[in-house]
Structure 1
Amino acid sequence: MDTITTSREIVKQVISDYAKLRPSHGNIRLDAIFDEMRDRYALMQVGWDRGKRVRGNLIYVIIENGKVIIEYDGMECGITQDLVKQGIPESDIVLAFLPDSQPVSIA
């Protein structure tokens, strides 16, 4: 398997594992969103908690030019270590949400 295919599978597995979690309160579901054609991967939360609508992005990752670019990570412990544990080298991960990161130029 080539590096991009491996990275794709790891990102999808990690996000799928998070999607199995259930929030401790409210009626909230977690939806894994995979766009393999454009290499965009997300985890969304949707539902209700204490009479208020809950919706939003928890994770947003793209794969571009051989790099796994974490655009947003709203998970308590972060997903970077999970990606590394599954086999993605730290050198291939860009934390684009940090000000001094140098994400790959996205056209």
Structure 2
Amino acid sequence: MDKIKQYEKAILSILDEYAKIKYANIKGGNEIIADKENHRYQVVTIGWDGDVFVHDCPMHFDIIDGKIWVQQNMTEWEVGEMLEEQGVPKSDIVPGFLPPDLREYSKYATA
């Protein structure tokens, strides 16, 4: 399996697991959006909390130049560690949600 397919599989396994979460207060749920051609992957929460419409993106990943960019992680999940457990090296995980000058202080890639 080539690297991009391996990384896509790792990302989708995390998103699949998160998408299974059910909410007591939201009539709706999580949906996975996967643009495999452009290597963009998200899970979105869509539904109603009483009379308030909920539309949120708790997780968003991209594969850019052979690296996984964690663009959004609004969960308590340590997605970097989860990716590492699936064979993705730290050098191929970029915390894209951090400003470029702060990424060097993470344990992951800067770009």
- The amino acid across from 2:19 in the alignment is A
Q: What are the ranges of 5 or more consecutive residues in structure 2 without an aligned counterpart?
A: 104-109
What TM-score, normalized by structure 1, do the two folds share? 0.87
Q: Which residue of 2 aligns with 1:48?
A: 48
Q: Deviations over 1:48-101 (max 9, x none)?
A: 113211002111110011100011111122422221212211111000111222
Q: Deviations over 1:18-59 (max 9, x none)?
A: 111112322131001110100000000000113211002111
Identical positions, percent: 28
Report the Cα distance in structure 2 between the residues aligned to 1:80 and 1:28, rounded to whole angstroms: 28
- The amino acid across from 2:65 in the alignment is N
Q: Which residue of 1 aligns with 2:107?
A: none
| Residue 33 to residue 83, structure 1, CA distance change in 2 (3 Å) | same
Considering Cα pairs closer than 8 Å and 6+ residues apart, tell me whether 1 or 2 has the greater RCO: 1
Q: Which residue of 1 aligns with 2:68?
A: 68
| Residue 78 to residue 52, structure 1, CA distance change in 2 (3 Å) | farther
Report the Cα distance in structure 1 between the residues aligned to 2:72 and 2:86, rounded to whole angstroms: 19
Q: Which residue of 2 aligns with 1:4?
A: 4
Q: Which residue of 1 aligns with 2:18?
A: 18
What TM-score, normalized by structure 2, do the two folds share? 0.85
Q: What are the ranges of 5 or more consecutive residues in structure 1 without an aligned counterpart?
A: none
Aligned length: 103
> Once structures 1 and 2 are overlaid, which stretch shifts more, 18-27 or 4-13?
18-27
- The amino acid across from 2:40 in the alignment is R
Q: Which residue of 2 aligns with 1:82?
A: 82
SS in 2 for 1:96: coil
SS in 1 for 2:83: helix
